[in-house]
Amino acid sequence: MDYSHELFGSTTKLSTKSRRLSGRRIALCLTGSVASIEAPKLARELRRHGAEVTCYMTQASVDYGISPYVMEWATKRPVISKLTGIVEHLMSYDLVVVYPATLNTINKIAQGLADNAVTTLCASTDPTRLLIAPAMSLRLYKNAILKASVEKLAKMGATFVEPRLSEGTTKVATVDTTVDHVIRCLSISRLKGRGILILTGPTRYDLDPIRHISNKSTGKPGYWLAKEAFYKGCKVKVIYGPCSVSFPSYIPSVNAYTTEDMLAATLKELEKEKYEVAIFSAAVLDFKPTTYSMEKVKSGSSWRIELEPTVKIVEEVSCRYPDLKIVGFKLEYKVLKEELIKRTQEELMKIRAFLMVANDLSEIEGEWYPACLINQRRDIKGFKGTKMELAREIFNEIGGEMIHCSM
């Protein structure tokens, strides 16, 4: 069927979210699960990131109510449900995604069985190019044979996307989560496998049981930094203060409240795991109250609050871990660009930073996040874009600096 023309309706023209999967060929394999109803959404989302998607279906997936015509519409390519003389199972793909994957299919793949279009394709594919998203009842998911199959495939290099536990069953991972794992699997980055620790969000101190002081911070810069680190294939962990964003379940994270809490969590993490880079994007309070009222201070009365300096987390870490590559953030308010750069360069020298990101709060608006990036050679690079785009730029700079340091 010719799909070169535009079909009627706005649903035929997909909006582009990124080009992260541009030129990538992905096989999306459906098996006999009710969760297959999510597959059309996944196919279209992968295409929004530039992928070319071909759908493979078992007869069981069709029996569960997913029409091949729906997947043909979602992928804009013919669906493969039977193997013919064209030897569809020998087609080359950058990644084979089994979504959803039943217990039956996972066990067959682990044993090398090839009795339908999906299992035959998987049998002819290197396990490192398999991404499997299980979906089944909780009792089946705890099956010992399934566990052995998952462990066997994982040791061979296959990637598993953990299901969601909800309503007594293991539901297939969300479309967004699966897309993130696809991007991670297909990324080509010199940072793959490197340990990245990210501090983000504000810290907070209570004044009484009702009130507190804190810095303005949504935690979004750290959220996008964590996602970018995940995309690059890094081993990432986040330490975050009270903020409005929630981090994906597949990115390990630790909550901190006060500045001391964040420092303690950071030092504990650095002692426990090996990290090459630490990104200090947190809006840490520089001052804390000297006293705390056990009772709510009555409104209408005057209240004098005395503040004292807090510990400088980045300075403490820099002193204890001189080999750690530090990415620091410097935030000022309504200063000349020359002064912003000067202060940032001074901070770079003080904490022996690997890279500094300088911002003026008066220029930040919503997702718009202009910045200056300054490396250890004091090269200055201006940036204008969103927080998501800045995160990508920061990791590009980190990768470039690591190459420079190794030369």
Give the β-pairing of 164-166 and 169-171: antiparallel
CA dist., res. 103 & res. 254, Å (int): 33
Q: Is 35 helix (H, G, I), strand (E, B) or coil?
A: helix
Element (H, E) at 380: strand 380-383
User: In what side-by-side order are the strands of the sheet with 136-137?
Assistant: 136-137, 169-171, 164-166
Taking residue 193's Cβ as centre, other Cβ atoms within 10 Å add up to 11
Residue with tokens 């690997």: 354
Give the β-pairing of 130-134 and 159-160: parallel
Give the β-pairing of 130-134 and 95-101: parallel
- Residue 214, strand partner residues: 204
pLDDT in tens, 83-107: 887 887 788 999 999 999 999 999 9
Peptide bond just before 221 cis, omega within 30 deg:
no
Give the β-pairing of 95-101 and 25-30: parallel
Nearest CA-CA partner of 27 in 128, 173, 125, 142:
125
Exposed (0-12), middle (13-18) or buried (19+): which is 116, by Cβ within 10 Å? buried
pLDDT of residue 6: 34
| pTM, to two decimals | 0.92
Tokens (6 digits) for 187: 């990324």
Q: What phi and psi values does residue 341 have, to the nearest 5 degrees?
A: -65, -40
| CB contact set of 153 (below 8 Å; sequence gap of 6+) | 106, 109, 110, 127, 130, 132, 160
pLDDT of residue 1: 42
Second-level CATH architecture of 18-186: 3-Layer(aba) Sandwich (3.40)
Statement: 195-293+304-406 belongs to CATH 3.40.50.970:
no
pLDDT of residue 407: 54
Exposed (0-12), middle (13-18) or buried (19+): which is 262, by Cβ within 10 Å? buried
**pLDDT mean for each 10 residues of the chain (407 residues):** 38 83 98 95 98 97 91 96 82 96 98 96 97 95 97 98 86 97 96 96 96 92 97 98 94 97 98 97 96 91 93 97 96 90 94 93 78 92 92 93 67
The answer to whether 57 and 68 have CB atoms below 8 angstroms apart is yes
What string of DSSP letters covers 82-137?
A: S--TT-GGG---SEEEEEEE-HHHHHHHHHT---SHHHHHHHTS-GGGEEEEE-EE
pLDDT of residue 405: 66
CA dist., res. 111 & res. 155, Å (int): 14
Q: Is 206 helix (H, G, I), strand (E, B) or coil?
A: strand
- Residue 308, strand partner residues: 288
The answer to whether 278 and 327 have CB atoms below 8 angstroms apart is yes
Q: Where are the domains of the chain?
A: 18-186, 195-293+304-406
